[in-house]
Amino acid sequence: MASSSAPADPLDAGPPDVVLSGPDETRRRSAELFGRLADPADERERSDLREALVHLHLPLVEHCARRFRNRGEPYEDLVQVGTIGLIKAVDRFEPSRGVEFSTYATPTIIGEIKRYFRDKGWAIRVPRRLQELRMQISATSAELTQTLGRSPTPRELAESIGCTVEEIVEGIESSNAYATLSLDAGDNSGDEPGASILDALGVDDVNLEHVEIRESIKPLLDRLEPREKKILLLRFFKNMTQSQIAEEIGVSQMHVSRLLTRTLEQLRSSLEEQH
C-alpha cells in the first residue's frame, strides 16, 4: 500500500491557511508562484497560478478588512471588496523590483475598501470621475484658502487642479448627491419636533386648473347686460339663493331662474365657439 505524501506541486497544496505554517512559508511559496507566473506554459497554467496566489494571500485581505469592521458594512462584503484589490495587485506585481508582495498589495487592498465606503456614502450614484474631482476640489480649496486668505474662485481652482471651469462647477454641483434628507426629516433644533420638509413643500393650486377658463370668460361677462351680470354675481360669488336674488332685483324667482339658465347657456355656447 502506497504511503501518502504532501503534493509536490504548490498548485495542489490547497488553501494557504491550512497548508502554510507561517509568514516565512507564505513568502517562499509566493515567490515560487510568481516565478512560475512570469513564464507559464499556457493560459490554463497562468489562470491556475493566479488563483493560487489569490488564495494564498486571502488572510492578508481578511486582516485588512478587520480594520474596517463596525462601520456599518458586513465583514463578508469588505472581504469581497478587498479580494478585488488583491486580484489587481497580483496582476500588477513585478517581482523584479525587489519588494515583498504583501507590502505592495496592502495599499491596493485598503484603497479598494476605502473606495467602496466612498461609493456607499453617496446618496445618489455619480460617476467615479466626479467623486474623485470632488475630493480634489475640497483639498485644493482648503490649500488655496490658506494661501489667498479667502475662498478661491472656480477659475483659480481649475488652474490649480488642471481642468476647466466647467468641470469645477460640475464637481461642486455633484456634492449635492453626497447626502440627502428624507422628506419626513424635521427641524429638531428646539425642544419640540418641528415641521418636516414635506410640510414646507408647495402643493398644487387647485385654482390653476380653471385659470384658462376664467381668463376666457372675462370678456364674455363684460358683454352681458348689467342685470344678467348682477344675477351671476349674486348667485356664484355671493352664494345667494334664487329667492334672495329675486328679492334683491325685484322680480319673481321664476324669472330669475329663466334669466340664469339663458345666461349660462349663452356663456357656454360662446366658450365652445372659442375652443
pLDDT at 9: 45
The string of pLDDT tens digits covering residues 9-51 is 434 433 333 334 477 888 888 888 988 888 888 889 889 999 9
Q: Which residues of 167-206 are buried (b: 16+ CB within 10 A; e: fewer)?
A: bbebbbebeeeeeeeeeeebeeeeeeeeeeeeeeeeeeee
Q: Above pLDDT 90, what percent of the chain?
A: 15
The string of pLDDT tens digits covering residues 137-194 is 888 888 888 888 888 888 898 899 998 888 888 777 765 555 555 556 555 544 555 5
The string of pLDDT tens digits covering residues 79-101 is 999 999 999 999 999 888 888 89
Local structure of 186: helix, strand or coil: strand
pLDDT at 6: 41
pLDDT at 144: 87
